[in-house]
Structures are given as structure tokens and as C-alpha cells.
Structure 1
Amino acid sequence: MPPPGGRDPATGSAPPGYRHDALVYADVDELVTIVAPWLLDGLASGDAALIAAGPRTAGPLRDAVGNHPQVLVAERHALYRARTPTALTAFRRYAEEHAPPGRRLRVVGETDYGTTPADWREWQAYESVINTALGPWPLWGLCVFDAALPAPILDSVGRTHPQLVTAAGRATNPDVVDPATYLGSLPVPDEPLEATPPALADDDISDYAGVRHAVRGLLGTIDGPADLLEDFLMAVDEMTSNAVRHGAPPAGLRLWTAPGRLVATIRDSGSGLEDPFAGYGPAHGADLSAGGMGLWLARQLCDHVAIRRDAHGVSVRLSTSWS
């Protein structure tokens, strides 16, 4: 197929760009009644389809559209409980591999928002970011939301989806918020560990190599999955390096530990990281040799990444948990 935004060499037509719709459903019967005809209409017109929903909804939807060769079914957690940049990459790959030339891949997506406000924030941000990040890709996403979800999640649906779908049809959403504005408005949840003494602190880093060695030594004492601890070490190292090399001094690091949980805050005195989409892709696109990968890597290596600004500078909070 042609690249995103390119033209099909056989027909000369440009593939359509991204559409992002939302449906809030009361029960599975309502979901199937609205979504199945949308999928079948797409298949009849030459689109392909992907169902990435929870088991309670994926099965009935698959049954409603039959054993059609253009319908893919993905395990929801493989997409939505991975980190947000990973989900973006996965949907781009699905579009590149499965959208027919000049047509779209229609996606029924049921995001797993997790169980905590920090989880919710990550995926609320994602739902807004994809309006920009997936713009050139031939995808038509219909995000479906159980009406029993927590109120903050349902409120965010109306702020992040340009079109809303009901039994009456598809309509423009007048309440959608520009992604950059929306991302800037999302509050950062409190982290209780930050109110306790840190296990490691250096508020004016002068010996970056020494700090890195101290972090590695501390994490080496933690009883947790080795790969997760190594990921967290890499994320802390990347963000501390960025603060020391590119931020305004002084740069500092604080790290907290608790059973099954790690939190680190890296701060500098500058005003960097002003791009609201920072970290949702490499800063220089496909040219990974150009650098600018620190925040992008951190978002893939940690459960939660929160950027905060105040009169003293900018900070990045990283957190990871395990059971």
C-alpha cells in the first residue's frame, strides 16, 4: 500500500486520513446493534476491519460480522495495556499492513484505562494525542465505552473525540478540545511517595556518573522483576542525562522506593519540554540517529510519565509498579 499521505500507484488516489469517533454504550446488545452495521458497511465498500475490544464485546461483534477474511481480532491488552507509544506504533503498523489501497482500516477499539487516576491520565492523554499522531494514517477508529466507566473517563470521551456515534447516527462533537490544549489541561495526580523522604536525592547534580552509579546500586537492592528494574534504570538515566545536558542548572534527582513500586522525579531549572506531544514518538521521526529519544523511551519503559512546570523549572516524574 502507499505510505501514509501518499497515493496509490494503481489508481492515483490518496488514501483517506484518520477519523476518530466515540460510542458510549449501555449494554452489549446496543453496542452490536450500532457497531456491526458500521463494520459490515465498511467491508462492503472495501475497507478492512480490526476488533480490539474486551472479551465481553469482542465475541458478539465477531459473531455479528461473520467469518469475514478482512476482519482482524486483536487481544485488547496487547494494545491498550502496553505503554501509549507502543499502542500508537501498533495501530500504524496495522494500517500499513492491512488497509487496502485507497481505503481505510476500520477499528473498533475499547481502551483499557486501568484502575488508578494515574492510569486514567495516561490513556486520556492518548485518546487526545491520536487525533494528531494518527492523522495521516488510513484508519477509522470507533472507540467504544461502557457507560458504567468512572465519570472522569466518560467526561474525557467528549473532549477527545471529534465525532460521536449513537443509535441516531454519527454527529460532529461540539465539545471536542484541541489536543495541545487538552493535554495542557490534564491534572497530574498526586503521588503519596513524594511526600515521604526519598531513598536517594541529589538536588544539584555535579557528578552525573556518580548519580548514575548510585541509582544502579539502589535499584540493585530492590526485590522486583529484573527486566522492569532495568527498564526503570534506563528511563531514569535518560531523563537525568537530558536534565543535566540540556536543561538549566541546577538539575536534580529524587527517587523513592516502596514494596512493588518505584517513583523518580528529575528536575531542572529551565523551561524545556514545552511540546505537549513530546515523547509520543522520536523527536526526529524515523531518524533515530538524530537523538531526541529520551522522553519517548521513558514513556515506553515506565507505567506513568508526568511532566510538571512551576516557577522553579520543569520536572518529569516516572513511576512503575509490579505485583
Structure 2
Amino acid sequence: MLAGPAPAAGLHRRRRGTGPHGGRGRVTTEPFEHPGLLYRGSADYLAATTTFVRDALEAGRPVLVAVPAANLDLLRGALVDDGWRITFADMAVAGRNPGRILPRVLLDFAGRHRGYRAAIIGEPVWAARTPLELDACAIHEALINAVFAGRDATILCPYAVSTLRPAAILNAWRTHPQILDGGVLRRSTSYVDPLTTADDLDVPLPPVPEYAKERVVDDRADLPRLRAFVRQAAGTMLSPDRLDDLVMAANELVTNTLRHTRGGGRIAVWPESGVLVCQVDDAGPSPGPLAGRVPLPPDDTGGRGLLLVNDLCDLVRLHRHPAGTSVRVHVAT
């Protein structure tokens, strides 16, 4: 039996007013709670996060700490006496691709602890993230609210005010119903329906560069040639295993295109700093913002393509536009 809607672990703080940003009304996800944490320095970070964890442990709740390595080390050290009761994960590894965090980190942990109110610290945003990654993180944070609505869980998401871009902090207010800042828990008036927010955050992708290698794919018989094209375009920039990941991801994306459109699509491959990029464009219908982010039932034999692509790639950005859909993936070189 699921526990009742208890207050969020570690969030027994003085509440005062609302956030500083105007919005379009209040949307509830109860009993699920998804506060953001604005912190300034290590002491501020540890004060809030260790209280959250210890309150959860005292209440008998399963705890997951999924944060970047530096903060992971801080929390391991501060919680050394309780470490055996906590699941730790390096978010820069498990959540390198923000599209993988919901199915493989958050839902996986909550699913393995059914019957208990999960307490999770999830920090998907850090200063080294690229602008394209930050866009993906903001969409991820919005979609957490849609996927976990009604679930018995609390997910606390820290944001480093002193090192993050101002846009990342503004998006924290947009994607979290409440924000904990300086010990005060405030309701965010920027928070609205999460699917509306995810749609607003679906900004156009940067244009495909002129130097990209491109190919039209309009027939299933082209799939072997497609795979050969991706291998040739990648050259020696990827290790054999990572090249296999990119080829499999491209094959899944183009297979989806051929399955759901009449006119086929176009694939482009090109290098950028530290990554090899592949983009598939088609005129087909949008698969929806949650595609590839929620595991399917075992008896569902279709619709796993984007889930697999999220598993294989270091970044996946899906953009819906009037002419169709574009999916861009990155694999680190």
C-alpha cells in the first residue's frame, strides 16, 4: 500500500509568499513534490541536501542521490555514516543525456521501491552543460511533473546560482512548483501546465552546417546503405563501440521516419567540438514530448525506438515544427 501524501522530506521550511516571476496560475501534481533548490556555495548546498536526505531516512524512505561527481563526493563525505542506506549515482554519467534521466534514473529507482515514498536529489544542470544540453534539461525538468504527477515521491533539484547562466535559473522557476532559496520555500508563479512549458521550451535547433554530409532516405531497402553512409561519414572520429551506437541510433530514427511518413526523410552527419552529430528530418507527425522518456509495458512491441536512441546517445533533441519533426543526436568523440 502506498504511503499517504506526506510533506516533502527535508522541506519543513518557513514558507513565505511566491516567487518573483509572474505566471499563469497554479497547477498541482500532488502527492508528488518537485521543489527546486537555489544554492550558493558548498555550505549552502550541504545544509539543504543533507537535511533532505536525513529527514527521508528517518521517515524510512528510500533515497537516491544523483548529482555531478564533485557534489556527489561532497555528499558522500557528509553522509558517510548513512551511506550504506543511500543509492548514489553520478548524474554526469547516468544523466549525460537528459532524455535518459526519467526512464533510466528516476522511474527506475521509484519502480524498484514501490510502496514507499521515494526521496530523490536529482541535479541534471551544471555549468559545463552546452546551451543545447540546457534546453534539453529544461524540457526534462518540465516533463518530470507530467510523468510523476500523482506518484508518491519527492524530487529535489539543486541549481548553482553562482555558476549557472541566468536562463537556467529562470527555467528552474518555470519547471518547479516550489523553489527553496535561502531556507525559504516559495511557490513559483512561473510554473504552469508542464506539457505547455515543455512545448514552449521546444526551441528551433541550430541549422545543419553546410559541411555536413547528407543523404535522402525514402525506402526500407535503403537501410543497409544508410548504415554504411553513417559509418563512412563518421570516419575514424568514434571508437568502434561508439560508432556502433551512432549507427544503431540513426537506423532507429530513419526506421521511424519510414514507418510514419510517406515521403521519407533526410539524414545529415557532421562533427562538432567533442561530438559527432546526426540529424534526421521528416514531414511526419510529432511523436509527442514524452516519447522515449517512459518505459513501455513488456507486452508493447512497438514505440521503443526513441527510448533506445536515448540509451545510445549522449544528447537527443527532438524539435517539432510546422514542416514536421527533426531529431538531433550527439555521440561524444
Measured against the shorter chain, the TM-score band is 0.7 to 0.9
CA distance 1:296–1:94, shift in 2 (3 Å): closer
TM-superposed CA distance for 1:23, in Å, is 1.0
1:107 equivalenced with 2:123 (yes/no) = no
1:275 equivalenced with 2:291 (yes/no) = no
CA distance 1:71–1:258, shift in 2 (3 Å): closer
TM-superposed CA distance for 1:251, in Å, is 2.6
TM-superposed CA distance for 1:176, in Å, is 1.1
Structure 1 Cα separation of the partners of residues 107 and 125 of structure 2? 19
1:195 equivalenced with 2:209 (yes/no) = yes
Structure 1 Cα separation of the partners of residues 325 and 69 of structure 2? 41
1:170 equivalenced with 2:181 (yes/no) = no
CA distance 1:221–1:62, shift in 2 (3 Å): closer
Structure 2 stretches of 5 or more lacking a match? 7-30
Query: Aligned AA for 1:171?
Result: R
Structure 1 Cα separation of the partners of residues 177 and 235 of structure 2? 48
CA distance 1:143–1:257, shift in 2 (3 Å): closer
TM-superposed CA distance for 1:160, in Å, is 0.7
Structure 2 Cα separation of the partners of residues 256 and 206 of structure 1? 23
Q: Which residue of 2 aligns with 1:126?
A: 140
1:154 equivalenced with 2:186 (yes/no) = no
Query: Aligned AA for 1:161?
Result: H
Judge conservation of contact 1:81–1:112 (CA < 8 Å) in 2.
no
TM-superposed CA distance for 1:25, in Å, is 0.9
TM-superposed CA distance for 1:56, in Å, is 4.5
Q: Which has the higher contact order (CA 8 A, sep 6+)?
A: 2
Judge conservation of contact 2:264–2:282 (CA < 8 Å) in 1.
yes
TM-superposed CA distance for 1:213, in Å, is 4.8
- Percent identity between matched residues is 24
Judge conservation of contact 1:52–1:75 (CA < 8 Å) in 2.
yes
Structure 2 Cα separation of the partners of residues 286 and 295 of structure 1? 15
TM-superposed CA distance for 1:139, in Å, is 2.5
Structure 2 Cα separation of the partners of residues 36 and 177 of structure 1? 29
TM-score, length basis structure 2: 0.78
TM-superposed CA distance for 1:21, in Å, is 0.8
TM-superposed CA distance for 1:20, in Å, is 0.8
TM-superposed CA distance for 1:298, in Å, is 1.7
Question: Deviations along 1:97-144, whole A, 9 cap, x unmatched?
Answer: 457x4x423222322444311111222221111112233544211111
Q: Which residue of 2 aligns with 1:81?
A: 96
Aligned residues: 305
3-state DSSP of counterpart to 1:195: coil
Query: Aligned AA for 2:204?
Result: V
3-state DSSP of counterpart to 2:278: strand
Judge conservation of contact 2:69–2:92 (CA < 8 Å) in 1.
no
1:29 equivalenced with 2:43 (yes/no) = yes
Q: Which residue of 2 aligns with 1:20?
A: 34
CA distance 1:61–1:184, shift in 2 (3 Å): same
TM-superposed CA distance for 1:86, in Å, is 4.7
Q: Which residue of 2 aligns with 1:252?
A: 266
TM-superposed CA distance for 1:207, in Å, is 4.6
Judge conservation of contact 2:63–2:85 (CA < 8 Å) in 1.
yes
